[in-house]
Structure 1
Amino acid sequence: MTTAYFQLPLDRLGPQRPFLSWTLLTVALAIVALLLLRQTNDVLTDRPGTRPLIVIPLLMCLSVLVFAGCYYVLAAQPGEFNGLGTRVDALYFTLVTLATIGYGDITATGQSARVVTILQILYTFVFLTAAATALGRRVRGVVVQRHGRPDTGGGEAPGRGGEE
Protein backbone atom coordinates (compact mmCIF):
# COMPACT_ATOMS: atom_id res chain seq x y z
CA MET A 1 0.00 0.00 0.00
CA THR A 2 2.79 2.40 0.86
CA THR A 3 4.49 1.69 -2.47
CA ALA A 4 1.21 2.44 -4.26
CA TYR A 5 0.92 5.71 -2.31
CA PHE A 6 4.30 6.83 -3.61
CA GLN A 7 3.51 5.66 -7.16
CA LEU A 8 -0.02 7.01 -7.65
CA PRO A 9 -0.24 9.94 -10.09
CA LEU A 10 -1.60 12.33 -7.45
CA ASP A 11 -0.16 15.31 -9.34
CA ARG A 12 -3.06 14.94 -11.78
CA LEU A 13 -5.51 15.87 -9.02
CA GLY A 14 -5.82 19.01 -6.96
CA PRO A 15 -6.59 22.56 -8.03
CA GLN A 16 -7.00 21.66 -11.69
CA ARG A 17 -9.57 18.95 -10.91
CA PRO A 18 -11.29 19.86 -7.63
CA PHE A 19 -14.52 17.90 -8.23
CA LEU A 20 -12.63 14.71 -9.06
CA SER A 21 -10.29 15.22 -6.09
CA TRP A 22 -13.08 15.71 -3.54
CA THR A 23 -15.11 12.84 -5.04
CA LEU A 24 -12.17 10.43 -4.81
CA LEU A 25 -11.50 11.43 -1.20
CA THR A 26 -15.15 11.00 -0.25
CA VAL A 27 -15.51 7.64 -2.00
CA ALA A 28 -12.21 6.29 -0.64
CA LEU A 29 -13.01 7.29 2.95
CA ALA A 30 -16.56 5.96 2.70
CA ILE A 31 -15.37 2.58 1.41
CA VAL A 32 -12.68 2.26 4.08
CA ALA A 33 -15.16 3.36 6.80
CA LEU A 34 -17.72 0.78 5.67
CA LEU A 35 -15.11 -1.96 5.60
CA LEU A 36 -13.89 -0.95 9.07
CA LEU A 37 -17.45 -0.99 10.39
CA ARG A 38 -18.02 -4.42 8.87
CA GLN A 39 -14.87 -5.79 10.48
CA THR A 40 -15.82 -4.19 13.80
CA ASN A 41 -19.26 -5.77 13.58
CA ASP A 42 -17.71 -9.15 12.73
CA VAL A 43 -15.58 -8.96 15.88
CA LEU A 44 -18.46 -7.85 18.11
CA THR A 45 -20.73 -10.62 16.82
CA ASP A 46 -17.94 -13.24 16.83
CA ARG A 47 -18.59 -14.02 13.17
CA PRO A 48 -16.59 -17.12 12.25
CA GLY A 49 -14.26 -17.21 9.27
CA THR A 50 -13.19 -13.56 9.43
CA ARG A 51 -9.64 -12.26 9.68
CA PRO A 52 -9.89 -8.93 11.55
CA LEU A 53 -6.35 -9.26 12.92
CA ILE A 54 -5.14 -8.85 9.34
CA VAL A 55 -7.88 -6.75 7.75
CA ILE A 56 -8.34 -4.06 10.43
CA PRO A 57 -4.65 -3.01 10.55
CA LEU A 58 -4.54 -2.94 6.74
CA LEU A 59 -7.65 -0.75 6.60
CA MET A 60 -6.24 1.55 9.27
CA CYS A 61 -3.05 1.94 7.23
CA LEU A 62 -5.11 2.54 4.11
CA SER A 63 -7.06 5.32 5.81
CA VAL A 64 -3.77 6.98 6.83
CA LEU A 65 -2.55 6.78 3.23
CA VAL A 66 -5.82 8.22 1.90
CA PHE A 67 -5.50 11.25 4.18
CA ALA A 68 -1.79 11.62 3.34
CA GLY A 69 -2.64 11.56 -0.37
CA CYS A 70 -5.31 14.18 0.18
CA TYR A 71 -2.90 16.43 2.08
CA TYR A 72 -0.30 16.05 -0.66
CA VAL A 73 -2.85 17.03 -3.31
CA LEU A 74 -4.09 19.96 -1.22
CA ALA A 75 -0.53 21.21 -0.74
CA ALA A 76 -0.34 21.88 -4.48
CA GLN A 77 -2.87 24.68 -3.91
CA PRO A 78 -1.01 27.81 -2.72
CA GLY A 79 -1.89 28.87 0.82
CA GLU A 80 -3.26 25.52 2.05
CA PHE A 81 -0.19 24.32 3.99
CA ASN A 82 3.01 25.72 5.40
CA GLY A 83 5.86 23.21 5.37
CA LEU A 84 4.22 20.43 3.36
CA GLY A 85 5.85 19.81 0.00
CA THR A 86 6.48 16.09 -0.43
CA ARG A 87 4.59 12.83 0.00
CA VAL A 88 6.75 12.06 3.03
CA ASP A 89 5.71 15.42 4.52
CA ALA A 90 2.06 14.53 3.90
CA LEU A 91 2.44 11.11 5.53
CA TYR A 92 4.28 12.69 8.45
CA PHE A 93 1.57 15.34 8.92
CA THR A 94 -1.13 12.64 8.78
CA LEU A 95 0.55 10.57 11.49
CA VAL A 96 1.31 13.59 13.67
CA THR A 97 -2.35 14.59 13.41
CA LEU A 98 -3.51 11.02 14.08
CA ALA A 99 -1.33 10.82 17.17
CA THR A 100 -2.52 14.28 18.29
CA ILE A 101 1.09 15.39 18.68
CA GLY A 102 0.98 18.56 16.58
CA TYR A 103 4.62 19.66 16.47
CA GLY A 104 3.68 22.75 14.49
CA ASP A 105 6.35 22.36 11.80
CA ILE A 106 3.62 21.70 9.21
CA THR A 107 0.42 23.67 9.56
CA ALA A 108 -2.89 23.67 7.74
CA THR A 109 -3.39 27.32 6.84
CA GLY A 110 -6.04 27.18 4.12
CA GLN A 111 -9.71 26.47 4.69
CA SER A 112 -9.73 23.24 2.63
CA ALA A 113 -6.68 21.92 4.48
CA ARG A 114 -8.31 22.71 7.81
CA VAL A 115 -11.57 21.02 6.78
CA VAL A 116 -9.70 17.84 5.80
CA THR A 117 -7.72 17.96 9.06
CA ILE A 118 -10.97 18.26 11.03
CA LEU A 119 -12.39 15.40 8.97
CA GLN A 120 -9.34 13.27 9.79
CA ILE A 121 -9.72 13.97 13.50
CA LEU A 122 -13.43 13.06 13.45
CA TYR A 123 -12.74 10.00 11.27
CA THR A 124 -10.13 8.89 13.79
CA PHE A 125 -12.47 9.37 16.74
CA VAL A 126 -15.26 7.38 15.15
CA PHE A 127 -13.89 4.77 12.78
CA LEU A 128 -10.28 4.15 13.78
CA THR A 129 -11.07 4.13 17.51
CA ALA A 130 -13.92 1.65 17.00
CA ALA A 131 -11.72 -0.53 14.82
CA ALA A 132 -8.82 -0.40 17.30
CA THR A 133 -11.18 -1.33 20.14
CA ALA A 134 -12.52 -4.28 18.14
CA LEU A 135 -8.98 -5.32 17.26
CA GLY A 136 -8.00 -5.24 20.92
CA ARG A 137 -11.05 -7.31 21.80
CA ARG A 138 -10.16 -9.92 19.18
CA VAL A 139 -6.53 -10.07 20.32
CA ARG A 140 -7.68 -10.57 23.90
CA GLY A 141 -10.05 -13.33 22.75
CA VAL A 142 -7.25 -15.10 20.91
CA VAL A 143 -4.94 -14.86 23.93
CA VAL A 144 -7.64 -16.17 26.26
CA GLN A 145 -8.43 -19.00 23.84
CA ARG A 146 -4.76 -20.05 23.59
CA HIS A 147 -3.74 -19.62 27.22
CA GLY A 148 -6.90 -20.19 29.21
CA ARG A 149 -8.69 -17.78 31.52
CA PRO A 150 -6.80 -14.48 31.98
CA ASP A 151 -5.80 -13.23 35.41
CA THR A 152 -8.45 -10.65 36.21
CA GLY A 153 -6.37 -9.15 38.99
CA GLY A 154 -9.33 -9.39 41.33
CA GLY A 155 -7.73 -11.39 44.11
CA GLU A 156 -10.14 -12.54 46.80
CA ALA A 157 -13.86 -11.92 46.60
CA PRO A 158 -15.11 -8.78 48.40
CA GLY A 159 -16.13 -9.35 51.99
CA ARG A 160 -13.82 -12.32 52.38
CA GLY A 161 -10.47 -12.22 54.00
CA GLY A 162 -9.25 -10.32 57.03
CA GLU A 163 -12.12 -7.81 57.26
CA GLU A 164 -14.49 -9.89 59.35
Structure 2
Amino acid sequence: MTDTPSPRQAPGGAGRSAPARWRLLAVVAVTAMTSAYFVLPLDEIGPRRPVASWTLFVLALAGVGVLMLVQVREVVAGGTRARPGIVIPLLMCLSVTIFAGAYYALAKQPGQFDGLTTRIDALYFTVTTLATVGYGDITPSGQTARVVTMVQILYTFVFLTAATTALTRTLRGRLGERMAQSRDVPSDGPS
Protein backbone atom coordinates (compact mmCIF):
# COMPACT_ATOMS: atom_id res chain seq x y z
CA MET A 1 0.00 0.00 0.00
CA THR A 2 1.43 3.39 -0.95
CA ASP A 3 1.34 6.40 1.29
CA THR A 4 -0.27 8.89 -1.09
CA PRO A 5 -1.37 12.17 0.50
CA SER A 6 -4.99 13.14 0.12
CA PRO A 7 -5.73 16.22 -2.02
CA ARG A 8 -6.13 18.28 1.16
CA GLN A 9 -2.95 16.94 2.74
CA ALA A 10 0.42 18.48 2.08
CA PRO A 11 2.92 16.48 0.02
CA GLY A 12 5.53 14.74 2.09
CA GLY A 13 3.01 13.43 4.61
CA ALA A 14 3.47 16.40 6.91
CA GLY A 15 -0.17 16.11 7.92
CA ARG A 16 -0.92 19.80 7.45
CA SER A 17 -3.62 20.46 4.88
CA ALA A 18 -3.14 22.97 2.08
CA PRO A 19 -5.92 25.27 3.41
CA ALA A 20 -4.21 25.35 6.81
CA ARG A 21 -0.96 26.38 5.14
CA TRP A 22 -2.73 29.14 3.25
CA ARG A 23 -4.36 30.39 6.46
CA LEU A 24 -0.98 30.39 8.19
CA LEU A 25 0.53 32.28 5.26
CA ALA A 26 -2.33 34.82 5.48
CA VAL A 27 -1.72 35.37 9.20
CA VAL A 28 1.99 35.85 8.55
CA ALA A 29 1.24 38.28 5.70
CA VAL A 30 -1.18 40.37 7.77
CA THR A 31 1.32 40.44 10.63
CA ALA A 32 4.07 41.54 8.23
CA MET A 33 1.87 44.27 6.70
CA THR A 34 0.83 45.59 10.08
CA SER A 35 4.39 45.49 11.40
CA ALA A 36 5.69 47.25 8.30
CA TYR A 37 3.07 49.97 8.72
CA PHE A 38 4.25 50.66 12.26
CA VAL A 39 7.98 50.31 11.51
CA LEU A 40 8.53 51.92 8.10
CA PRO A 41 9.92 55.47 8.23
CA LEU A 42 6.75 57.20 7.05
CA ASP A 43 8.02 60.45 8.58
CA GLU A 44 10.54 60.62 5.74
CA ILE A 45 7.83 60.95 3.12
CA GLY A 46 4.95 63.38 2.93
CA PRO A 47 5.78 67.08 2.88
CA ARG A 48 9.54 66.39 2.77
CA ARG A 49 9.34 64.41 -0.48
CA PRO A 50 6.01 65.14 -2.14
CA VAL A 51 6.84 63.75 -5.58
CA ALA A 52 8.13 60.47 -4.15
CA SER A 53 5.18 60.28 -1.76
CA TRP A 54 2.53 60.74 -4.44
CA THR A 55 4.31 58.41 -6.84
CA LEU A 56 4.54 55.69 -4.20
CA PHE A 57 0.89 56.19 -3.19
CA VAL A 58 -0.43 56.05 -6.77
CA LEU A 59 1.73 53.06 -7.74
CA ALA A 60 0.78 51.13 -4.59
CA LEU A 61 -2.94 51.76 -5.08
CA ALA A 62 -2.74 50.93 -8.78
CA GLY A 63 -0.85 47.71 -8.02
CA VAL A 64 -3.36 46.58 -5.41
CA GLY A 65 -6.24 47.57 -7.70
CA VAL A 66 -4.84 45.50 -10.58
CA LEU A 67 -4.27 42.50 -8.30
CA MET A 68 -7.85 42.80 -7.02
CA LEU A 69 -9.22 42.98 -10.55
CA VAL A 70 -7.24 39.87 -11.48
CA GLN A 71 -8.82 38.03 -8.55
CA VAL A 72 -12.29 39.30 -9.45
CA ARG A 73 -11.82 38.27 -13.08
CA GLU A 74 -10.71 34.79 -12.03
CA VAL A 75 -13.77 34.36 -9.84
CA VAL A 76 -16.17 35.63 -12.50
CA ALA A 77 -14.53 33.44 -15.16
CA GLY A 78 -14.70 30.43 -12.87
CA GLY A 79 -10.92 30.05 -12.83
CA THR A 80 -9.18 27.74 -10.42
CA ARG A 81 -5.82 29.52 -10.23
CA ALA A 82 -6.99 32.24 -7.88
CA ARG A 83 -7.32 31.83 -4.13
CA PRO A 84 -9.83 34.62 -3.51
CA GLY A 85 -10.61 33.49 0.04
CA ILE A 86 -7.03 34.31 0.99
CA VAL A 87 -5.82 36.85 -1.56
CA ILE A 88 -8.77 39.27 -1.52
CA PRO A 89 -8.73 39.83 2.26
CA LEU A 90 -4.95 40.30 2.10
CA LEU A 91 -5.31 42.88 -0.65
CA MET A 92 -8.02 44.64 1.35
CA CYS A 93 -5.70 44.74 4.35
CA LEU A 94 -2.91 46.08 2.15
CA SER A 95 -5.16 48.82 0.77
CA VAL A 96 -6.08 49.85 4.33
CA THR A 97 -2.41 50.11 5.29
CA ILE A 98 -1.64 52.10 2.12
CA PHE A 99 -4.34 54.66 2.90
CA ALA A 100 -3.37 54.78 6.58
CA GLY A 101 0.26 55.43 5.58
CA ALA A 102 -0.84 58.16 3.19
CA TYR A 103 -2.97 59.82 5.86
CA TYR A 104 -0.18 59.61 8.43
CA ALA A 105 2.35 61.14 6.02
CA LEU A 106 -0.16 63.78 4.93
CA ALA A 107 -0.94 64.71 8.54
CA LYS A 108 2.68 65.85 8.90
CA GLN A 109 1.77 68.78 6.67
CA PRO A 110 0.15 71.51 8.80
CA GLY A 111 -3.54 72.17 8.18
CA GLN A 112 -4.38 68.88 6.47
CA PHE A 113 -6.00 66.98 9.35
CA ASP A 114 -7.57 67.91 12.65
CA GLY A 115 -7.10 65.19 15.27
CA LEU A 116 -4.74 62.90 13.36
CA THR A 117 -1.31 62.77 14.98
CA THR A 118 -0.31 59.10 15.34
CA ARG A 119 -0.21 55.99 13.18
CA ILE A 120 -3.07 54.56 15.23
CA ASP A 121 -5.07 57.72 14.44
CA ALA A 122 -4.37 57.22 10.73
CA LEU A 123 -5.36 53.55 10.84
CA TYR A 124 -8.48 54.41 12.83
CA PHE A 125 -9.45 57.15 10.36
CA THR A 126 -8.92 54.78 7.43
CA VAL A 127 -11.12 52.09 8.93
CA THR A 128 -13.89 54.50 9.98
CA THR A 129 -13.86 56.01 6.47
CA LEU A 130 -13.93 52.53 4.93
CA ALA A 131 -16.87 51.60 7.13
CA THR A 132 -18.55 54.94 6.36
CA VAL A 133 -18.95 55.57 10.07
CA GLY A 134 -17.25 58.97 10.37
CA TYR A 135 -17.38 59.85 14.05
CA GLY A 136 -16.06 63.35 13.35
CA ASP A 137 -13.19 63.22 15.83
CA ILE A 138 -10.67 63.24 12.96
CA THR A 139 -11.46 65.45 10.01
CA PRO A 140 -9.65 66.17 6.78
CA SER A 141 -9.44 69.96 6.83
CA GLY A 142 -6.96 70.60 4.01
CA GLN A 143 -7.77 70.27 0.33
CA THR A 144 -5.22 67.52 -0.25
CA ALA A 145 -6.49 65.49 2.72
CA ARG A 146 -10.03 65.82 1.41
CA VAL A 147 -8.99 64.66 -2.06
CA VAL A 148 -7.21 61.58 -0.62
CA THR A 149 -10.27 60.83 1.50
CA MET A 150 -12.50 61.06 -1.57
CA VAL A 151 -10.08 58.77 -3.43
CA GLN A 152 -10.39 56.25 -0.61
CA ILE A 153 -14.19 56.39 -0.75
CA LEU A 154 -14.20 55.93 -4.54
CA TYR A 155 -11.55 53.20 -4.28
CA THR A 156 -13.76 51.44 -1.76
CA PHE A 157 -16.81 51.69 -4.02
CA VAL A 158 -15.01 50.37 -7.07
CA PHE A 159 -12.31 47.94 -5.98
CA LEU A 160 -13.27 46.76 -2.52
CA THR A 161 -16.93 46.35 -3.40
CA ALA A 162 -16.07 44.30 -6.50
CA ALA A 163 -13.59 42.23 -4.51
CA THR A 164 -16.07 41.64 -1.69
CA THR A 165 -18.72 40.60 -4.19
CA ALA A 166 -16.30 38.15 -5.81
CA LEU A 167 -15.29 36.78 -2.43
CA THR A 168 -18.92 36.33 -1.42
CA ARG A 169 -19.65 34.58 -4.70
CA THR A 170 -16.75 32.19 -4.13
CA LEU A 171 -17.74 31.43 -0.55
CA ARG A 172 -21.38 30.81 -1.53
CA GLY A 173 -20.24 28.48 -4.31
CA ARG A 174 -18.02 26.51 -1.94
CA LEU A 175 -20.76 26.30 0.66
CA GLY A 176 -23.18 25.07 -2.01
CA GLU A 177 -20.68 22.40 -3.11
CA ARG A 178 -20.20 21.20 0.46
CA MET A 179 -23.94 21.05 1.06
CA ALA A 180 -24.41 19.09 -2.17
CA GLN A 181 -21.62 16.68 -1.21
CA SER A 182 -23.12 16.13 2.23
CA ARG A 183 -26.49 15.29 0.64
CA ASP A 184 -24.82 12.84 -1.77
CA VAL A 185 -23.02 10.91 0.97
CA PRO A 186 -25.12 7.92 2.01
CA SER A 187 -25.80 7.63 5.71
CA ASP A 188 -24.22 4.75 7.59
CA GLY A 189 -27.37 3.89 9.47
CA PRO A 190 -30.18 1.54 8.35
CA SER A 191 -32.68 2.93 5.87
TM-score by length of 1: 0.89
Deviations 1:28-59 (A, max 9, x none): 00000000000000000111132110000000
- Find the counterpart in structure 2 of residue 57 from structure 1: 89
Which of residues 133, 138, 141 is equivalent to 2:170? 138
Matched-pair contact (CA < 8 Å) for 2:74–2:81: no
Matched-pair contact (CA < 8 Å) for 2:104–2:122: yes
Deviations 1:83-122 (A, max 9, x none): 0000000000000000111100000000110000000000
- Output the CA distance in 2 between the equivalents of 1:49 and 1:111: 42
- Find the counterpart in structure 2 of residue 48 from structure 1: 80
- Find the counterpart in structure 2 of residue 110 from structure 1: 142
Matched-pair contact (CA < 8 Å) for 2:46–2:105: yes
Cα RMSD of the aligned pairs, angstroms, is: 0.9
- In the TM superposition, structure 1's runs of 4+ consecutive aligned residues that sit over 2 Å from their partners are none
- Output the CA distance in 1 between the equivalents of 2:131 and 2:105: 21
1:90 aligns with 2:122: yes
Q: Give 5+ residue unaligned stretches, structure 2.
A: 1-32, 182-191
- Output the CA distance in 2 between the equivalents of 1:45 and 1:145: 17
1:10 aligns with 2:42: yes
Aligned counterparts, 1:142-157, within 5 A = 142-148=174-180
Shift of 1:148: 1.5
Relative contact order: is structure 1 or structure 2 higher (C-alpha 8 Å, sep ≥ 6)?
Answer: 1
- Find the counterpart in structure 1 of residue 64 from structure 2: 32
Amino acid at match of 2:109: Q
- Matched length: 149
- Find the counterpart in structure 2 of residue 157 from structure 1: none
- Find the counterpart in structure 1 of residue 26 from structure 2: none
Which of residues 138, 153, 161 is equivalent to 1:129? 161
Q: Give 5+ residue unaligned stretches, structure 1.
A: 150-164
